[in-house]
Amino acid sequence: MSALRLPWRAAGGLATVATGAARAVAAPVLAPVGQVARAHVVRTCPVPVDLDAVTAVGDEVDDPDGIDVEPVWSRARALYASGVHPALQLCIRHRGEVVVDRAIGYARGVRPGRPIDPDTAVPATTVTPINLFSAGKAATALVMCLLEEHGHVDLDEPVATYVPAFACHGKERITVRQVLTHRAGVPALPAHALDLDLLADPDVVRDLLCDLRPSAVIGGPPAYHALTGGFIAEAVARAATGRSLRDLLVDHVKAPLGLRWFDFGVRHDDAALVATNVCSGLPIVPPLSFVFDRLLGMPWDEAVRWSNDERFVTGVVPSGNVIVTARDTATFYQCLLDGGALDGTRVVSSATIDRARRADLPTIDLDRRILLPLQYGTGFMLGTSTISLYGWNHPRAFGHLGLANSFTWADPDRELVVALLTTGKAVLGTHVGALLGLIAQIHRTFPVAAASTR
């Protein structure tokens, strides 16, 4: 096929690109430029006509129960075809086996409203590292739970036990667990603290945290701590062990599980490998913008731009920059699902996992910052017997949502682990129906396991 310039872009032939265990196909036929025009309103990326040409497949096996996973992947393709996500990865483990490990789209070089340039667009693969954003809070929580298991901290002790200066301004009774369950009453950083250069100086960050004044009821209803919770956990970990959360995560989780990524930020040499995040979907305007400005401490689009800054990509943001692949994320959750050990390596005790999964409050409450009904464990967002982030009737599921369409969870009742990582940062847009359809299809495809197999 000859290459046409406009209004279509095409490439002569299809070339195979191999990265690690993944295989991808580049140089696809692209959709009409009319899609680019639509992006000026809805902020969507042009989508190739041939989705197989931008699909990568990792190491998968047939489902142990003979379940056909293609309906799930079809829904994932529909989500990508919405144009909101330049790239997405999906890894599903069922009964311990990786039955889906796929990526679709472009890791870098693609933006809403612009045609794809095959010379600069970099296809995503299953080994492309992607930022989990808030879904990384699960990793922070596990490290803190491990510190308690090893006797370094007591999560029910006040933060001030470890960081005495934190006690000022009426914060002396705030416990570490309240921080991890979003009930510490300090959900936001002041504007002057939102400086990427501060990531290089944890002592200054600690002092800023100590100077916080509660803006929500301490021990009251949950009020999502988008950034503060992770930094407080970092301060406690440093005070209790003399080591950073980054070092602790590597030594206690990443290295034992043999993960390539799964770290707070990446090395400077790896920064160029990380998938780019883009602002997509409908622009966020009042009144919704007021909610997110308050939640993030800055406008949505600015937060997304921050996430691509090398200082953010290589720094330590315990509430929002675990950089990983969907497969490594699924390995992490499989370890938790299996009681804390995987392939003969014990990472954490089953008792510690059970405590972390236990609901902090007996009832589902409206989160005062996110404005959604949520139930939290110690660092995890929990499923319920009705509707939750993970679908209908997932009462024992636990995981976390990441800005804004990344979903990571484990469900003991279905012997299921799901990691959906996306790079388009949208709340409303053309993708919503496809996203809900994907979550619903996962629910339908993987039913509750028979009691004899659980």
Residue 27 within a domain: yes
Lowest mean pLDDT among 22-26, 38-42, 164-168, 275-279: 22-26
Mean pLDDT of 154-159: 99
Domain assignment of residue 34, given as a range = 15-74+84-126
Same domain, 143 and 118: no
Same domain, 176 and 61: no
Please report the pLDDT score of residue 451 as a whole number.
Answer: 57
If residue 416 lies in a helix (H) or strand (E), which one and from where to where? strand 416-422
- 356, 176 contact by CB (below 8 A): no
Q: Name which residue leads in pLDDT, 10 or 118.
A: 118
Confidence of residue 14 (pLDDT cuts 50, 70, 90): very low
Q: Between the CA of residue 352 and those of 145, 155, 440, what are the distances in Å?
A: 7, 12, 30
Cα separation, 73 vs 329, whole angstroms: 18
Same domain, 101 and 207: no
Task: With CA atoms as reference, report the closest residue to 407 among 63, 92, 45.
Answer: 92
Same domain, 269 and 316: yes
pLDDT tens digits, residue range 220-260?
999 999 999 999 999 999 999 999 999 999 999 999 999 99
Residue 316 within a domain: yes
Can you state the angle between helices 228-241 and 202-210, rounded to 10 degrees? Answer: 110
Same domain, 229 and 346: yes
Considering the chain, what is the average pLDDT of its residues? 91
Residue 367 within a domain: yes
This prediction has a pTM of 0.91
Same domain, 119 and 180: no
Task: With CA atoms as reference, report the closest residue to 327 among 50, 80, 24, 20.
Answer: 20
Cα separation, 326 vs 337, whole angstroms: 16
pLDDT tens digits, residue range 378-437?
999 999 999 999 999 999 999 999 999 999 999 999 999 999 999 999 999 999 999 999
Choose one of 126, 160, 186: the last residue of a domain: 126
Mean pLDDT of 278-295: 95
Q: What 3-state DSSP class applies to 98?
A: strand
Same domain, 365 and 309: yes
Residue 426 within a domain: no
Choose one of 384, 401, 421: the last residue of a domain: 384
Please report the pLDDT score of residue 354 as a whole number.
Answer: 98
Residue 441 within a domain: no
Residue 153 within a domain: yes
Residue 181: CATH number of its domain: 3.40.710.10
Choose one of 126, 153, 188: the last residue of a domain: 126
Same domain, 116 and 176: no
Please report the pLDDT score of residue 21 as a whole number.
Answer: 39
Same domain, 163 and 260: yes
Please state the domain count of the chain.
2
Same domain, 99 and 211: no
Residue 220 within a domain: yes
* pLDDT surpassing 60 at residue 27: no
Same domain, 345 and 205: yes
Please report the pLDDT score of residue 9 as a whole number.
Answer: 30
pLDDT tens digits, residue range 56-99?
999 999 999 999 999 999 999 999 999 999 999 999 999 999 99
Mean pLDDT of 12-41: 41
- 363, 288 contact by CB (below 8 A): no
Residue 410 within a domain: no
pLDDT tens digits, residue range 42-66?
899 999 999 999 999 999 999 999 9
Same domain, 275 and 360: yes
